Amino acid sequence: MAVALVNGQVLTDAQFEPVTVVIEGDRIIAVGRDIDLATTTAQVDLEGDFLLPGFLDTQVNGGGGLLFNDAPTVETIATIGAAHRRYGVTGFLPTLISDDLEKVVCAIEAVDQAIETGVPGVLGIHIEGPFLSERRKGVHDASKFRTLDEAALTLLTSSRRGRTLVTLAPETTTPEMIGRLAGAGVTVAAGHTNATYERLIEALSAGVTGFTHLFNAMSPLANREPGAVGAALDHQDSWCGVIIDGRHIHPAALRIAFRAKRHDRFMLVTDAMPSVGMVDKNFTIQGRPIRVVNGVCVDENGTLAGSDLDMASAVRNAVELTGLDLADAAAMASTNPAAFLGLGKELGRIAPGYRANLTLLDRGLKATRTWIDGSAA
């Protein structure tokens, strides 16, 4: 039977309204002010808090003390998902950083199984590398890097369930290969790239539709060479992931980016590591020790190594550091990534017919409750 969520400030297509949301099974069946509640079996009082489309994070390396690369299993995915759900995430892509292709096989199989067995929130997989630039490697292990060949193409298109997002450096492959990936239904993003502006525009024409963690690990915007950053901001139809933790990108750079490109093409991502949801913040990546210093993950050389950011904090930071209003920040955490992944007709909105994936934030913009396919936690 139906459940009514009442007395909340509900984000409905870019504005907050004091409407009722009715859920039945895994779907939203009604949104409005004058709903007959006699047909519902229960009412949930939201006490004036903000009801948003559930957050969707396309870049989640770990959480709850586990790193996906260390053990790409259904159990690891479930632990990571549960850790991030506490911060409003109702949909995510477990993310595998550069590794051997045998590890990629295991990761794809684990995500397929997780979706088949109903692990909450799993939408697919993000394979970040190993087709990356050594010049822009960040914390990735360059010994794992390789070019995108036929064997890798077959592997990257082998997932049976959910969405596949691949981050690659366009200079490690050809426009033809990018086109074949995109043609097979893979979402292709440029990242960890030292490509020129011209090479990026060529890749965008071939099938790249997004940029992984804009500004970070990519050729910068300069006066004579706009680089990857320039291509990302100049190309109005591509999506850009941004890590808003106050360290990865200066707030002024974010504000400039938000003025250069329409807001519905930006996505909040966490690039989260095992430390999210943990008291003990220390962990390792492929044998290298990582410390969390003032909320920032760094390796022994001080190189940024993902983040200790959660999505509720990313939304809050977007409002506080850049001046976005909550509606825009929430869309960057839900509506926009859903569209990027081709899931905009079922996720990212609070509207009849959409999956009942919802996040409740209190007045301090902290997550207090979530619903995934109608199931509350």
Q: Where in the sequence numbering do the catalytic residues fall?
A: 271
Residue 127, C-beta contacts closer than 8 angstroms, at least 6 positions apart: 95, 96, 104, 107, 108, 156, 164, 165, 166, 167
CB atoms within 10 A of CB 29: 17
Q: Which residue bears the tokens 């033809």?
A: 176
Token readout for 8 is 């909340």
Q: Which letter, b or e, does each residue of 162-186 get, where b requires 16 or more Cβ atoms within 10 Å of its Cβ?
A: bbbbbbbbbbbbebebbbbbbeeeb
Query: Among 361, 232, 360, which residue's Cα sits nearest to residue 371?
Result: 360
- Rounded-to-integer distance, Cα 321 and Cα 261, Å: 18
- Beta-carbon-side half-sphere exposure of residue 326 (alpha carbons within 13 Å): 21
Query: Among 62, 84, 89, 87, which residue's Cα sits nearest to residue 73?
Result: 62
Q: What are the phi and psi torsion angles at 63 (to 5°)?
A: 165, 160
The H or E element that residue 241 is part of is: strand 239-242
| Residue 216 · residue 249 · CB < 8 Å | yes
Token readout for 347 is 């996720």
